[in-house]
Structures are given as structure tokens and as C-alpha cells.
């Protein structure tokens, strides 16, 4: 009799626990590798994203860099919740710092295919994270396991966009990353993302022509690079041309450690890139990364940490139907404490 009462009590508390856990949404709150395994009928969610990214990169190589940057710009504003994808006059994508961000149409295409394969299952935030990983791999940076299980945010405001500036010092940038739980070492690795892709002349004009109001070029830039860049970026030119961030031009689209090698030789393009090689807190790291071949693997680990910044999981957030619009603006209720 005593035993059956104990069993009944245990069953009661177990059931209560399950109800509470489901109610609060804390049960499956962690990101995990393979979150979508067997959740999308028989379809391979990551494989579907990969095939879209692969085809788009074959059409236009530069889209890979755009996808990696998209992930960073998403994660740094309200966490990796795809808030950058929401359309709207004053949404994040319209903030000045996001003007040259691209890759949206790649995410839209992957989302469309995933909705056909399994409606309402895969979040836009996860599609961005998977696409960024695929872009690294397809650029030669190796494959890392991407964690999934993020859900999509329902708010996107340009006024929330507060990204570090390319002319910030290393300590200022480190502070911005620290606020997101990312260490100095991981910041250096992540800035190695600038080993592919481009920047526009408007970001470097002062380094070429009027550094710190001096009327001269930045003395920390290799003079031969100054001359090279002045040709592509003439003074006061209307056309805001694009230049490779990695000055080993054979490696513009290749995910390798050449960016660190270039910055070490004073050939960093953005002020923050050059500062990494010169600041006492990061110069040794840059030296190591410039000469070792473990950068791509370490970059992957840092991307996993970036991808975990302030994520929504469990019952929080929602799964959008289209990555450009929220499903519903949930009314706040006394039960929304956790979501």
C-alpha cells in the first residue's frame, strides 16, 4: 500500500514537472547540434540550406562573405533571432550600419524550400547560422558543427542597432564583444572573417587622404597599399567603389589566415583590422594566427559562440512563415513571463 502511494506521488510530481517545464519552455532551452534531425519529415534541413548557398555562391562568389557578415549583424543586435531580416521602414535592416548588408534573398530561398518540406519548423535565425557556416566551408574554411534550436524574434528596430565602428580602438571593440559574452581572443578570431569580402572606399577615405585631420595618409598603412587604394578610391569620388579586405588579392574569396598575414605587414584595410596587429593586447595573437594553420578551425569554434549570443529557445519567440515578417505580435499576458 505504502509503495503504491509512493509510486502515485512520484508519478504526480513527475507529471507536474513535465507540465511546468512545458509551460515555462525551459525544457529544451539549449542549442544543440542536429536539433532538426527527424523534425522535418524525412528531409535534411542543413542539406537543403547547403544546396541553396552552394548554388548562390556558384552564381556570385561574394555572397559567401555577405552571409557571414549577416550572421554577425544579426547576433549583435538583440541576439541571433533573425531580427535583421524583418522588413519595415524603421527595422534593423534600414539602420545606417546595415546599409551594405546582403544575402537576404539567399535566406528567403532556403526558407521557402524548408516551408515546403516541413511547414513552421525551421527558424530563420537557424537558417542564417547554417548558411554562414556553409559559406565558410564553401570558401575553403572547413566545416564546423553548427548548433541549432534558435527561434525568431518579433521585434526589429533600427534604433537598437549599435554595432562597433570600424574606427573603434581594439579596447573599445573588445568592450562591445565582452558585453555579448565574447572574449578578446574570440573577437580577434571573428574579425578574421575579414579574410574574405569587400569594404567600400567611404570607410577608408580618411585613412588614405586625411588621417586624424592631418591631411596625410594613415602612417600605419604600408605606403604602397596607400598608393594602390588611392587608384580605386580617388579623393571625393562619388562612386563608392569596393576593395578587398584581404590584400592578398589571390585570396579575396578564400577563407584562410592571409588576412592576419596582411595586417601584420601593415596591409589591413579597415582601421580596426590594422589596429589588431598593432595593439599590445592583440599583436601576439595576430602573429600566431599569421603563421599557424589552425585559424579556420578556431574561427569555427568562435562562430559557435557568436551564434549563441542572446538566443531565443524553447517556447520563446516564434517560427516565422516568411523571414521578412512576424507571424503575430504576441500580446503581453501574465503568462508571457518566459517568452
Q: Which residues bind ligand HEM (CB under 6 A)?
A: 62, 65-66, 68-69, 72, 100, 102, 164-166, 173, 190-191, 193-194, 196-200, 203, 270, 272
The answer to whether the CB of 311 falls within 8 A of the CB of 125 is yes
> What gap in Å lies between CA 258 and CA 295, rounded to an integer?
10
What does each C-alpha distance from 196 to 7, 65, 199, 242, 243 come to in angstroms?
61, 6, 10, 13, 11
Nearer residue to ligand HEM within complex by CB, 21 or 242 = 242
- Binding residue per annotation — 79? yes
> What gap in Å lies between CA 257 and CA 290, rounded to an integer?
6
- Binding residue per annotation — 89? no
Nearer residue to ligand HEM within complex by CB, 244 or 315 = 244
Nearer residue to ligand HEM within complex by CB, 165 or 220 = 165
Nearer residue to ligand HEM within complex by CB, 36 or 259 = 259
> What gap in Å lies between CA 304 and CA 311, rounded to an integer?
12
- Binding residue per annotation — 336? no
Could you confirm whether 73 is annotated as catalytic? yes
CB of 333 to ligand HEM, least distance (A): 37
CB of 134 to ligand HEM, least distance (A): 14
CB of 13 to ligand HEM, least distance (A): 45
CB of 305 to ligand HEM, least distance (A): 11
CB of 312 to ligand HEM, least distance (A): 20
- Binding residue per annotation — 296? no
CB of 12 to ligand HEM, least distance (A): 49
- Binding residue per annotation — 83? yes
> With helix as H, strand as E and coil as C, how does the chain read?
CHHHHHHHHHHHHHHHHHHHHHHHCCCCCCCEECCCCCCCCCCCHHHHHHHHHHHHHHHCCCHHHHHHHHHHHHHCCCCCCCHHHCCCCCCHHHCHHHCCCCCHHHHHHHHHHHHHHCCCCCCHHHHHHHHHHHHHHHHHHCCCCCEECCEECCCCCHHHCCCCCCCCCHHHHHHHHHHCCCCHHHHHHHHHHHHCCEEEHHHCHHHHHCHHHCCCCCCCCCHHHHHHHHHHCCCCCCCCCEEECCCCHHHCCCCCCHHHHHHHCCCCCCHHHHHHHHCCCCHHHHHHHHHCCCHHHHHHHHHHHHCCCCCECCCCCECCCCCCCCCCCCCCCHHHHHC
With CB atoms as reference, the residue minimizing the distance to ligand HEM is: 197
- Binding residue per annotation — 71? no
Nearer residue to ligand HEM within complex by CB, 22 or 172 = 172
Active-site annotation holder among 71, 73, 200, 265 = 73
Nearer residue to ligand HEM within complex by CB, 65 or 154 = 65
- Binding residue per annotation — 152? no
- Binding residue per annotation — 194? yes
The answer to whether the CB of 308 falls within 8 A of the CB of 31 is yes
Residues identified as active-site: 73
Per the annotation, binding residues for heme b are 194
Per the annotation, binding residues for substrate are 164
Per the annotation, binding residues for Ca(2+) are 74, 77, 79, 81, 83, 92, 195, 246, 256
Per the annotation, binding residues are 74, 77, 79, 81, 83, 92, 164, 194-195, 246, 256
Amino acid at each position: 500500500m505504502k509503495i503504491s502511494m509512493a509510486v502515485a506521488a512520484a508519478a504526480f510530481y513527475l507529471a507536474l514537472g513535465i507540465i511546468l517545464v512545458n509551460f515555462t519552455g525551459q525544457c529544451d532551452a539549449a542549442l544543440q547540434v542536429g536539433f532538426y534531425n527527424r523534425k522535418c519529415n524525412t528531409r535534411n534541413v542543413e542539406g537543403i540550406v547547403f544546396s541553396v548557398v552552394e548554388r548562390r555562391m556558384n552564381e556570385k562568389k561574394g555572397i559567401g562573405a555577405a552571409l557571414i557578415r549577416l550572421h554577425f549583424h544579426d547576433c549583435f543586435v538583440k541576439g541571433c533571432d533573425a531580427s535583421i531580416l524583418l522588413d519595415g521602414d524603421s527595422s534593423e535592416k534600414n539602420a545606417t550600419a546595415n546599409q551594405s548588408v546582403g544575402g537576404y534573398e539567399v535566406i528567403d530561398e532556403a526558407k521557402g524550400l524548408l516551408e515546403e518540406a516541413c511547414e513552421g519548423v525551421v527558424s530563420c535565425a537557424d537558417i542564417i547560422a547554417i548558411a554562414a557556416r556553409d559559406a565558410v566551408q564553401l570558401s575553403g574554411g572547413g566545416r564546423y558543427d553548427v548548433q541549432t534550436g534558435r527561434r525568431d524574434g518579433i521585434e526589429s528596430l533600427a534604433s537598437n542597432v549599435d554595432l562597433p565602428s570600424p574606427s573603434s580602438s581594439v579596447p573599445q571593440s573588445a568592450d562591445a564583444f565582452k558585453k555579448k559574452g565574447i572574449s578578446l581572443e574570440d573577437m580577434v578570431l571573428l574579425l578574421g572573417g575579414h579574410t574574405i569580402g569587400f569594404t567600400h572606399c567611404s570607410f577608408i577615405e580618411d585613412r588614405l587622404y586625411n588621417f586624424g585631420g592631418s591631411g596625410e595618409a594613415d602612417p600605419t598603412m604600408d605606403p604602397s597599399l596607400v598608393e594602390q587604394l588611392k587608384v580605386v578610391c580617388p579623393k571625393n569620388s562619388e562612386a563608392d567603389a569596393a576593395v578587398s579586405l584581404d590584400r592578398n588579392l589571390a585570396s579575396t574569396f578564400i577563407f584562410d589566415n592571409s588576412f592576419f598575414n596582411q595586417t601584420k605587414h601593415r596591409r589591413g584595410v579597415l582601421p580596426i583590422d590594422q589596429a589588431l596587429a598593432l595593439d599590445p593586447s592583440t599583436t601576439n595573437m595576430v602573429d600566431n594566427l599569421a603563421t599557424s594553420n589552425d585559424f579556420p578551425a578556431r574561427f569555427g569554434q568562435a562562430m559557435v559562440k557568436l551564434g549563441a549570443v542572446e538566443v531565443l529557445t524553447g517556447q520563446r519567440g516564434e517560427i516565422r512563415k516568411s523571414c521578412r515578417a512576424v507571424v503575430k505580435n504576441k500580446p503581453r499576458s501574465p503568462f508571457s513571463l518566459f517568452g
